[in-house]
Amino acid sequence: MSINAGDKMPSGSFKVITAEGPRDLSTDELFSGKTVVLFSVPGAFTPTCDAKHLPGFVQHADAIKAKGVDTIACMAVNDMFVMKAWGQSANVGDAVLMLADGNGDYTKALGLELDARGFGLGMRGQRFAIIVKDGVASVVNVEAGGEFKVSSAEHILSQL
């Protein structure tokens, strides 16, 4: 069963690389007392993710944060080193927090897995965007297969 609007976000953690090195970031640290836009891509550096999804959130970060969002976070079932390299390649700076869900544990907890073995990508996460307010999903937008509409930065901006 997948996450729905009104549900509490599941507990878990992500891997991130900070100036001090790799560390775990708990969902409590990420969501507690904050408004967060969490978006997920099937994979770093993959075509739509790299050309449209992440760049849209970088481009619209100031407008999204002006609507009261504390953090914009991108997650993928990739390791923390790939997420760091992708963030650097996309010049995210401080606009987007890059979260690694390397084993897909958080993706599974959300119920939003994507079987991409047919493409040689293994198990990944679906493309989605969730607006989280103090640990509760207020908006959950999950893309239909092959689509890129409801999880875009522009669409999320219209929902804030």
Q: What is the pLDDT of residues 43-101, one digit of tens each?
A: 888 888 888 999 999 999 999 999 999 999 999 999 999 999 999 999 999 999 999 99
Catalytic: which of 9, 49, 77, 140? Answer: 49
Q: Domain of 48?
A: 13-159
Q: Is the pLDDT of residue 129 over 90?
A: yes
Asked, for residue 1, whether it belongs to a domain, the answer is: no
Asked, for residue 4, whether it belongs to a domain, the answer is: no
Q: Count the domains in the chain.
A: 1
Strands 35-40 and 71-76: parallel
Asked, for residue 2, whether it belongs to a domain, the answer is: no
Asked, for residue 3, whether it belongs to a domain, the answer is: no
| Mean pLDDT to the nearest integer, 114-137 | 88
Q: Is the pLDDT of residue 120 over 90?
A: no
| Mean pLDDT to the nearest integer, 140-157 | 95
* pLDDT score recorded for residue 31: 98
| Mean pLDDT to the nearest integer, 4-33 | 96
Asked, for residue 97, whether it belongs to a domain, the answer is: yes
* pLDDT score recorded for residue 43: 87
Look up the pTM and report it.
0.95
Asked, for residue 7, whether it belongs to a domain, the answer is: no
* E strands, the chain, in order: 13-18, 21-26, 35-40, 71-76, 97-100, 113-115, 123-125, 128-133, 136-142
* pLDDT score recorded for residue 146: 86
- Residue with tokens 């997420």, as numbered in its chain: 83
Residue type, 32: S
* pLDDT score recorded for residue 122: 66
pLDDT-wise least confident of 2-11, 98-107, 110-119: 110-119
pLDDT band at 124 (very low <50, low <70, confident <90, very high): confident
**74 tagged catalytic:** no
Q: In sequence order, which residues have a C-beta less than 8 Å from that of residue 122 and are 6 or more positions away?
A: 77, 116
Asked, for residue 37, whether it belongs to a domain, the answer is: yes
Asked, for residue 5, whether it belongs to a domain, the answer is: no
